Amino acid sequence: MSDEGQRSPLLILFLVVLIDMIGFTLVIPFLTYFVQDLAEADGFVDMASRDWWVGIVLASYTLGQFLFTPLLGALSDRVGRRPILMFGLVSNTIFLISFGLASALWMAIAVRFLAGAGNGNIAVTRAYIGDISTREQLPGRMGMIGASFGLGFMIGPFVGGVLTDPANAFGGPFDTEWWAAHPYFLPCLTAGLLSAISFLLAIRMLPESLPPEKRGEKSEEEKGLKVVLRNLVSVRDLSPNVRRLVLVNATFLLAFTMMHATFILFTAMPIEDGGLGYDERMNGYIFAYVGLMGVIVQGGLIRPLSKRFDVRQLMIVGIILTSIGLGWIPYLEPTPLAIGLLAMTFIAAGNGLFQPSQSTMITTEARTMGLDLGRVMGAQEGFGALSRIIGPVLAAFIWSATVEGTGIWTYHTVFRIAGLIAILGLLIQWGIKPTETYHSESE
C-alpha cells in the first residue's frame, strides 16, 4: 500500500482510537454521581457502602479488557484486523448507549464489563499499524496513537461534563420528565453516536491490512487468556533492571488509578464536610484541564527535555511531582481554583514525564540485555492491567472504610496512601543500576 493510499486508513485508525478514549473518559465526570444514585436506589444509603460501588464499576471495564483483549488480538490474527475493529466499534456503540440507560447497579457493572470485553481496538489498531508500516514509519505512526490518547482524555471529560443533566442545563426539548429521570443519558448517547459514525467511516474507508496468506498462522497468542498469565509469570526471567522497571510502572499506575477512583468522590462532597462541592460539569472541566496538560507535556515538552536530561532523571521527577499532587488533593479548598489546578498540574505533568521516560528506559534496557521486546512489553502490560483493576477497588475500599472516620483515618487517607505508593515506585526505581546512560530515541 502506497503512502498516499495509507492516509485514509491512518485517519480512520486515529478516529477509532480517539473515539475509544472519548467514550472511556467521557464517563469520568458523572460516573461517580451515577453510581451513587444507583447504589442509593438499591438500598446502599450510607456513604461508606454507597461509594464502594464506584470502584467496582470502574474496575469492571478494565477487567473485561484484561480478560478478552488477548482473545480479540488472537482472533484478529486469524480473521484479519478489520472485522475485529468493526466488532469493537459496534460493541462501543451498544454498550455506551446502554450504560446511560442502566437502572440498577448490576446493570451498570455488567454493561461496563461487556464494554471492556468487546473493545480490543487499541491493541488491534497497533497491530494494524504494524502491518502497513515500515520500520522507519512505525515510531511516528505509533506516536499518532499516543496523540489521539491525549486528545481523547481532554475532549471526553469536557463533553461528558457539559452534556450531563440536559433537562436543567439546556431546557427546551430536554425539559421533560424522561430527560430529568435520565440525566446521564445524553453524554452516553453522544459517545455511542460518535462510535457509530466511526463504524460507518470504517466500512467505507478502512481496508484490511493483513493479507490472507498471513492469516491463521499458529502462535502463542491463540491461547488467549493463557498468554496473559504467561506474560505475568515471564517477568521472573527478565533482567533485574527490567523487572524493576515493570514493577515501577505497575506501582505508578496503581497510585494513579486510585486517584481516578476517588478524586470525584472527594470533589463531590459538600463543602461543609470538607469536600469541594463540585458538580459533574465542574469535574469535567478539571479532567479536561488534566488532559490538556498531558498533551502539552507529552506532545511538546518531553522531546526537548529528554534531549537535555537523562530520561531516568525525568522519570524520577515525574514520580515526585505525581506523589506530591496525589497527597495534596484532600487539602484543597473550593477557592482559589488556581491552587486546585496547580495540584492537578503536578499530577498531569508528573504522569506526562513518567510514561514516555519509563517506556524509553525499559526499551533501551531490554535491547541492551538482548531481551525479546515483545515479551518485555507483554509483562509490563499484564502487570499494568492488574494495577488498573486493583487500583479502583483498593481505593474504594479504603475510602469506604475511612470516609466517616476521625483522627488520622479520614477521607484524606486514600490520597495519602496513593502518594506513598507512588513514592514506593520511586524507591524501587532508585535501585536500578543502569547498564548505560538512557537517552531519548528522538535524539
Q: Which residue has the cell 469541594?
A: 276
pLDDT at 205: 81
pLDDT at 420: 93
Handedness of CA 293, 298, 303, 309 (dihedral sign): positive
Mean pLDDT, 10 residues at a time, over the chain (443 residues)? Answer: 57 78 83 90 84 89 83 78 87 92 93 87 74 66 70 87 91 91 93 88 80 60 60 74 88 92 90 89 90 82 82 89 93 90 93 84 78 70 85 91 83 92 87 58 41
Residues in Cβ contact with 266 at an 8 Å cutoff, skipping those fewer than 6 apart: 275, 276, 329, 330, 411, 415
pLDDT at 441: 43
Q: Cell triple for residue 76?
A: 484478529
pLDDT at 224: 54
* Superfamily designation of domain 1-146+155-207: MFS general substrate transporter like domains (1.20.1250.20)
pLDDT at 24: 74
Q: Is the pTM of this model over 0.85?
A: no
108-143 burial, b for 16+ CB within 10 Å, e for fewer? bbbbbbbbbbbbbbbbbbbbbbebbbeeeeeeebee
pLDDT at 253: 93
Parse the chain into domains and list their residue ranges.
1-146+155-207, 226-443
Rounded CA-CA distance 116/126 in Å is: 17
Rounded CA-CA distance 282/264 in Å is: 10
Q: Do domains 1-146+155-207 and 226-443 have the same CATH topology?
A: yes
Structurally, at CATH architecture level, domain 226-443 sits in Up-down Bundle (1.20)
pLDDT at 239: 78
pLDDT at 250: 92
pLDDT at 299: 72
